Chains A and B, each alone.
Chain A
Amino acid sequence: MNNEMVFIGIAIVIGLVSLILAFVAIHNEKLSVAIIAAGVVSLFASVLYLLMAAPDVAMTEASIGSGLSTLIFFYVLNKINKTKNNA
């Protein structure tokens, strides 16, 4: 009974923060802020999967969606900035 209320409270907080960060990811002008905001949305989704009793999916989303995807975005951003500075 008490456990359920705690889970529902955590889920509501996660939902609100994810939505605000998703808006920040779309509307901010700087690209690095947008990429990191998308990574944090993926991290909060991983916690939500754990609340819904899906540990395999939580592990996969945390390692692939939050870790490797953000890393690849930053490689491309670095290459584009370096080419822009050289030209």
Chain B
Amino acid sequence: MENFDLGHISLLIGFLLILVGFWGVLTQKNIIKIIVGFTILNTGINILMVSLGYVKGKTAPIIDNAVAQTGNHDVSASVVDPVPQALVLTAIVIGFGVTALMLAYAMKLYNAKKTLEINKFNDLKW
């Protein structure tokens, strides 16, 4: 296949990890397994966002003596896109916070009913 380079590969990895994560969240019965599936889903989405900002053949967005610059520290012709990286930085930290919160809930649920199977928690079902 022509034009099959790093951007295509990482986009494919991101999409497949999202599908595996969704499959885990939808079919598992143990609460801790559902949270593991959620973690894999988060990782997949972050890989997807960073790979959309990849520009072919360019380097990291840090101004140094090794990066080709023009004019007054103008590097716009030799770096990858820095905006998706700034957004993914925030997303990773927030994903960790949400995972820690879900695990605290799981511990409290186990203390209340002594089981980790999600089918046994039907207090709110009509």
Contacts and interface: CB of A to CB of B under 8 A. Distances in A.
Contacts of B4: 8
Interface string B102-114: 0100110011001
B96 A57 contact: no
A25 B89 CA distance: 25
B107 A72 contact: no
A80 B16 CA distance: 32
Given A26-B24, A34-B36, A76-B106, A56 B6 contact: no
Contact of A48 (B13, B58, B110): B13
A10 to B, nearest CB: 10
Given A22-B20, A80-B116, A11 B10 contact: yes
B37 to A, nearest CB: 6
Given A25-B24, A26-B20, A48-B13, A69 B96 contact: yes
B9 A61 contact: no
Interface size for chain A: under 10, 10 to 19, 20 to 34, or 35 or more residues?
35 or more
A15 B13 contact: yes
Nearest to B20: A22
A8 B85 contact: no
Given A15-B13, A38-B36, A73-B103, 18 more contacts: A11-B6, A15-B12, A23-B20, A25-B37, A26-B28, A26-B40, A31-B33, A38-B40, A42-B39, A42-B43, A48-B10, A52-B80, A64-B96, A65-B95, A65-B96, A69-B99, A73-B36, A79-B107
The 5 closest A-B pairs by CB, nearest first: A26-B24, A15-B13, A53-B60, A22-B20, A11-B9
Interface of B: 4-6, 9-10, 12-13, 16-17, 20-21, 23-24, 28, 30, 32-33, 35-37, 39-40, 43, 46-47, 50-51, 54, 58-62, 79-80, 85, 88-89, 92-93, 95-96, 99-100, 103, 106-107, 110-111, 114, 116
20 contacts: A4-B6, A18-B13, A19-B13, A26-B24, A26-B36, A35-B32, A35-B36, A41-B40, A52-B10, A52-B51, A56-B89, A57-B50, A60-B89, A64-B93, A69-B99, A77-B32, A79-B107, A80-B110, A83-B111, A87-B114
